[in-house]
Amino acid sequence: MTATTQPASAVFTGPGIPLSRLIKVELRKLVDTRASFWLAASIAAISAIIGVVVLIVGPGTSDSSADGNITFANLFDLMTAPMAFLLPVMAILLVTSEWSQRNALTTFTMEPRRERVIVAKLTVSIIASIAAVVIALALGALCNLVGGLIYSDGGEWSISGSALVSGLLNILVGVLVGFAFAALLLNTPAAIVAYFVIPTVLEIIGAVVPWINDHLIDWIRLPMLASSPSGSDWAHFLSGCVIWFAIPLFFGVNRIMRSEVK
């Protein structure tokens, strides 16, 4: 005689753990492992180093370009660069650590409704993205204040709303794409390699095949917004979000809901 089993989330009827408590637990998990702690420390250290280097080098000397000037907008862009690069790895670790460190059995025993755990992790990823933008603004403002005191042509405070929105969305989408890849693969090395290698391979293919570069690459590359996006930029961005986030997340959530916990 054989017995069939169903996912615990399909048969659980109790009150369960409040979602707010799950979010607090996942926030702690975001930084309490050795890898995630040093990754977060690296992001802060790299951002601080960038600010110091910019202040040491000083404003750009070219009158035709403001890229090297010490302005709040330029410093904000520089501060968000390491965050956009490394925060997706933290999101990957947040998801895959349950499976690589065999914590899933404990997590899904305490809260059998797996969809609630997924929502909590996704919420924490969004919170981390917003916090990163706030930190980037604070560090940029601090460096801009110091730059204005040191250099006579530094310390410009103007920044456009589109630059703020694009900075937030670039970090947020990168984190969500990392989250989706982690849910789909449930393996830390595989998710990290896929996140960084697949976009690079696509760019190489686009550079080698002119038709792909001219007609397709803008629609399928990892979504990234310019500081002042046009209508076509938004269309390419939304297309990339569907390909890189929505589709992997759909299959990833389905895999988490059905995977056997060992």
Q: What is the pTM of this model?
A: 0.86
- Please report whether residue 28 resides in a domain: yes
Per-residue pLDDT, 105: 81
| Rounded Cα–Cα distance for residues 252 and 124 (Å) | 17
24 assigned to some structural domain: yes
Q: Is residue 80 domain-resident?
A: yes
Q: How many domains does the chain contain in total?
A: 1
| CA 174 – CA 90 distance, rounded (Å) | 11
Which residue from 179, 38, 175 is spatially nearest to 117, judged by alpha carbons?
A: 179
pLDDT above 90 for 176:
yes
Buried b / exposed e over 28-66, threshold 16 CB at 10 Å, is ebbeebeebeebbeebeebbeebbeebbeeebeeeeeee
Q: What is the extent of the structural domain holding 213? A: 18-258
In a domain, residue 12? The reply is no
| Mean pLDDT of all residues in 41-65 | 76
Residue 217 falls inside a structural domain: yes
- Runs of H (alpha helix) within the chain: 8-11, 19-32, 34-57, 72-100, 104-110, 114-150, 161-185, 188-208, 210-215, 217-220, 231-241, 247-258
Instruction: Report yes or no on 58 lying in a domain.
Output: yes
102: confidence class by pLDDT, cuts 50, 70, 90: confident
| Contacts of residue 66, Cβ cutoff 8 Å, sequence gap at least 6 | 60, 74
**Mean pLDDT, rounded, for 163-167:** 89
Asked whether the predicted pLDDT for residue 16 surpasses 90, the reply is: no
Task: Answer for the pair 248, 180: CB distance below 8 angstroms, yes or no.
Answer: yes
CA gap 21, 170 in Å, rounded: 28
∠ CA 116-244-105, rounded to 5°: 30
Answer yes or no: is 74 within a domain: yes
**Can you name the residues that pair with 156 across neighbouring β-strands?**
71
Q: Give the whole-angstrom CA distance, residue 113 versus residue 133.
A: 32
pLDDT(65) > 60:
no
**Tens digits of residue pLDDT in 140-149:** 999 988 888 8
Q: Confidence band (pLDDT; 50, 70, 90) for 14?
A: low
Residue of 81, 85, 87, 75 whose CA lies nearest to 51: 75
Overall average pLDDT of the 142-158 stretch: 83
pLDDT the model gives residue 129: 92
> What pLDDT digit, counting tens, does each position of 30-50 carry?
887 788 888 888 888 898 898
Computed over its alpha carbons, how large is the radius of gyration of the chain?
21
